[in-house]
Amino acid sequence: MRQTKQKRYIMEAFQNYHGHPTAEELYAVLSPKHPRLSLATVYRNLNQFADKGMINRVIIPNGPTRFDSILDFHYHAICEECGELFDIDSPEIRAVDEAIHNIKAFNVSNYKIMLYGTCDLCKVKSQHLHENPSFN
Amino acid sequence: MRQTKQKRYIMEAFQNYHGHPTAEELYAVLSPKHPRLSLATVYRNLNQFADKGMINRVIIPNGPTRFDSILDFHYHAICEECGELFDIDSPEIRAVDEAIHNIKAFNVSNYKIMLYGTCDLCKVKSQHLHENPSFN
DNA sequence: TTACATGCAAAGTATTTGCTTCGCT
DNA sequence: AGCGAAGCAAATACTTTGCATGTAA
Task: Give the pLDDT band of residue B38 (cuts 50, 70, 90).
Answer: very high
- The pLDDT of residue B4: 97
- Nearest 5 degrees, angle CA B86-CA B90-CA B95? 120
Cα gap A135→A127, rounded to integer Å: 10
Cα gap A105→A107, rounded to integer Å: 6
- Closest by alpha carbon to B59, among A73, A4, A116? A116
Predicted TM-score (pTM) of this structure:
0.92
Q: Could you tell me the distance in Å between the CA of residue B72 and the C1' of nucleotide C13? A: 31
Chain B residue whose CA is closest to A98: B96
Cα gap A31→A26, rounded to integer Å: 8
B54 and B4 in a single domain? The answer is yes
**Helical (H) or strand (E) element with A5:** helix A5-16
Chain C: positions less than 7 Å from a protein CB are 4-10, 13-18, 23-25
CATH number, domain with residue A36: 1.10.10.10
Which of A37, A52, A71 finishes a domain? A71
B98 and B112 in a single domain? The answer is yes
Pairing of strands B110-117, B75-79: parallel
pLDDT tens per residue across all 136 residues of chain A = 999 999 999 999 999 999 999 999 999 999 999 999 999 999 999 999 999 999 999 999 999 999 999 999 999 999 999 999 999 999 999 999 999 999 999 999 999 999 999 999 999 988 877 666 554 4
Residues 76-115/A with CB within 7 Å of nucleic chain D are none
Domain range enclosing B97: 73-136
B67 and B1 in a single domain? The answer is yes
Cβ pair A58, B76 in contact under 8 A: no
Cα gap A69→A65, rounded to integer Å: 14
Cβ pair A88, A96 in contact under 8 A: no
Cα gap A111→A100, rounded to integer Å: 8
Pairing of strands A110-117, B110-117: antiparallel
B133 and B77 in a single domain? The answer is yes
B29 and B87 in a single domain? The answer is no
B66 and B100 in a single domain? The answer is no
Is the Cβ pair A99, B104 closer than 8 Å? no
Cα gap B122→B86, rounded to integer Å: 13
**What domain count does chain A have?**
2
